[in-house]
Amino acid sequence: MVIYETYTIKDVNMKVGIIEHFDSMHLLPSHPKCGVPHGHTYKVEVVVDGELKNGMVIDFDQLKKLLREILRVYDHTDLNKLFPFPSCENIALNLHSKLKLNLNNYKVTVKIWEGEGKWAEFSDS
Ligand SMILES: [Zn+2]
């Protein structure tokens, strides 16, 4: 058995994460400030929590491909065509549900920044 410090491989749960970006436009219906069309660069962080197997929780390449495939739908589009109310929170929920279709055996956390300094996070527990 390989031992890293005081942990054995079979006992280790770990989080791994990736960050991607997409650019989109939206408006928030009836919102006094955000009710006019405008754009954001969204930063997306996905954290996958799972068992360490053969030195990996999940293959970064596999995770990046999955995330990029989903974000392609949001990128350079009018988010109001995809969501009745395209808030950061609703996008995070939608992204999380799509990721979970492929990552059912992991705990998944999605955090989305809408520009600088504003974010929404959703995690299954
Ligand atoms: Zn906005």
pTM greater than 0.85 (yes/no): yes
Residues with a catalytic annotation lie at 34, 76, 114
109 neighbors 123 (Cβ within 8 angstroms):
yes
Do residues 125 and 107 make contact, with C-beta atoms less than 8 angstroms apart? yes
| pLDDT tens figures, 4-30 | 666 655 678 999 999 999 999 999 999
In this prediction, residue 7 carries a pLDDT of 60
CATH architecture for the domain at 15-46+59-123: 2-Layer Sandwich (3.30)
* pLDDT at residue number 1: 58
Cα 93 to averaged position of ligand 1 atoms, centre (Å): 17
Ligand 1 center to 119 CA (angstroms): 11
pLDDT digits (tens, 9 = 90+) for 90-108: 999 999 999 999 999 999 9
Cα–Cα distance, 118 to 43 (Å, whole number): 10
> Ligand 1 centroid vs 21 CA: distance in angstroms?
15
Q: What is the pLDDT of residue 6?
A: 63
